[in-house]
Homo-oligomer: A and B are copies of this chain.
Amino acid sequence: MLAANSIGKAFTVTCFGESHGKCLGVVIDGCPAGLLLSEDDIQAELDKRVPPKLELTSGRVERDIVEILSGVFEGHTTGAPVCMIVLNKEAVSSEYNAIKDLPRPGHADYPAHVRYGGFNDYRGGGRFSGRITVSLVMAGAVAKKLLRIFGVEVYAYAKAIGKVKIDENVTLEQIRENTYKNPVRCPDLSCAEKMEQAIIEARSEGDSLGGIVECVALNVPAGVGDPVFDALDADIAKAIFAIPAVKGVEFGAGFSSATMRGSENNDAYAICGGKIVTLTNNAGGILGGISTGMPIVVRAAIKPTPSIPKKQKTIDLSKLDVAVLEVKGRHDPCIVPKAVSVIESTVAIVIADHMIRAGIIPRVLWRK
């Protein structure tokens, strides 16, 4: 029953809205005063959320248009809560009536029905839809703008889609240049094409694909994060698990560190250009919940879209009997491309929150 739609202790993001309701929205409380911020800043990030190719997405083609409702005055944030909304324009809800008692396998329909006693807005998944990530992207746009002032850059990209994986050696330049230039958000362009093909193929078979999104945060200074429970990795993981379809999160060497020896996995310290660095980064930039100054590297496993045209076994909640379901509606055959900008936003939100907690980002950016 407790407030569960908020995250962050210093840069606090509260989300609201449903897939087929009036809007999706977000309130940021704790954004420092004095940040130059316009609707264009937010719009640019919202536009990155939705890949351009229709055959890769749900076919819901509305452009999400942001409106800032509060917290900005004369072009700057005021320190008061920033509320932003995107109106839902073209939701088609009628097709959900037919299946409202037939929980879709792999979706939150059934547990949500139990949790809310049947009062939840089931249309399009309601509060459990992937569309709620619009709120995260709006908040992430503010976080990213804030972080850039302090030199921090956050980049996510598709690392794997289905069985297609990108080469380990993708460069920072590729990431910066290519990620948002292709519909699957993969910085390795030849790999991107194969990913696109894989999605089209799965779709043509009435099926869907999952994948892996990797995210790196550069230039986070050493010393950001709090032990024990508000560890930086713990908070990033929690935020990423809030994104629908995420089933795993790992940092640095992650699950592969389980099979390494200490002598392999430990990152030796060195001095480079007068700065303390590590020669490898198996830690993914975080030790003991605190940033080391090396790039933060996190990966999320995204499950295949549960809404697929193929027939599936389910139950009819109204009769408590078995049933067969054919999901209609419009659904992305793979949500990895959308998840890229969402994870980038989410990681930026958590890092901004922790850099404010650390006192590195002050509560007024520039005093007049």
- Which of A2, A239, A253 has most chain B Cβ within 10 Å? A2
Q: Which of B241, B258, B268 contacts A301 (CB 8 A)?
A: B258
- Taken together as a complex, chains A and B put the C-alpha atoms of A264 and B105 apart, in Å, by 11
CB-based contact A238/B247 at 8 Å = no
Return chain B residues, CB-CB under 8 Å to A258. Answer: 160, 210-212, 247-248, 301-303
Within A28-62, which residues are at the interface with B (CB < 8 Å)? 29-30, 32-34
Return chain B residues, CB-CB under 8 Å to A256. Answer: 301
For residue A314, CB closer than 8 A to chain B, the reply is yes
- Taken together as a complex, chains A and B put the C-alpha atoms of A115 and B291 apart, in Å, by 9
Return chain B residues, CB-CB under 8 Å to A284. Answer: 247
CB-based contact A14/B81 at 8 Å = yes
Interface residues as binary, A340-358 with B (CB distance below 8 Å gives 1, 0 otherwise)? 0000000000000000111
CB-based contact A304/B260 at 8 Å = yes
The closest CB in chain B to the CB of A318 belongs to: B368
CB-based contact A162/B248 at 8 Å = no
Nearest chain B CB to A106's CB is how many angstroms away?
4
Return chain B residues, CB-CB under 8 Å to A180. Answer: none
Within A93-127, which residues are at the interface with B (CB < 8 Å)? 103, 105-108, 110-112, 114-121, 123, 126-127
CB-based contact A223/B4 at 8 Å = no
Interface residues as binary, A252-265 with B (CB distance below 8 Å gives 1, 0 otherwise)? 11111111111111
Task: Please give the count of copies of this chain that the complex contains.
Answer: 4
Given contacts A78-B121, A81-B14, A119-B78, contact A4 B288 (CB under 8 A): no
Within A230-272, which residues are at the interface with B (CB < 8 Å)? 230-231, 233-235, 237-239, 241-242, 244, 247-271
Stretch at the interface among A18-26, A169-177, A185-193: A18-26
CB-based contact A117/B366 at 8 Å = yes
**Total number of A residues with any Cβ neighbor in B under 8 Å:** 158
CB-based contact A292/B110 at 8 Å = yes
Q: Which of B283, B292, B359 contacts A1 (CB 8 A)?
A: B359
- Taken together as a complex, chains A and B put the C-alpha atoms of A260 and B304 apart, in Å, by 7
Return chain B residues, CB-CB under 8 Å to A356. Answer: 1
CB-based contact A260/B303 at 8 Å = yes
Return chain B residues, CB-CB under 8 Å to A328. Answer: none
Q: Which of B25, B227, B305 contacts A108 (CB 8 A)?
A: B227
Given contacts A16-B69, A228-B127, contact A162 B279 (CB under 8 A): no
Q: A77-B119, A234-B239, A268-B312 are in contact. List 20 more A-B contacts (CB 8 A).
A: A1-B30, A1-B357, A1-B358, A2-B2, A2-B9, A5-B80, A17-B81, A79-B116, A79-B120, A80-B120, A106-B266, A127-B228, A208-B263, A234-B242, A237-B238, A250-B255, A260-B303, A265-B304, A266-B306, A359-B363
User: 27 interchain pairs (CB within 8 A)?
Assistant: A2-B226, A5-B27, A6-B12, A6-B14, A16-B27, A17-B69, A18-B80, A25-B69, A33-B116, A69-B85, A77-B119, A79-B115, A111-B225, A111-B286, A112-B227, A117-B367, A162-B261, A211-B258, A237-B238, A238-B238, A247-B250, A247-B251, A262-B310, A264-B304, A265-B303, A265-B306, A269-B313
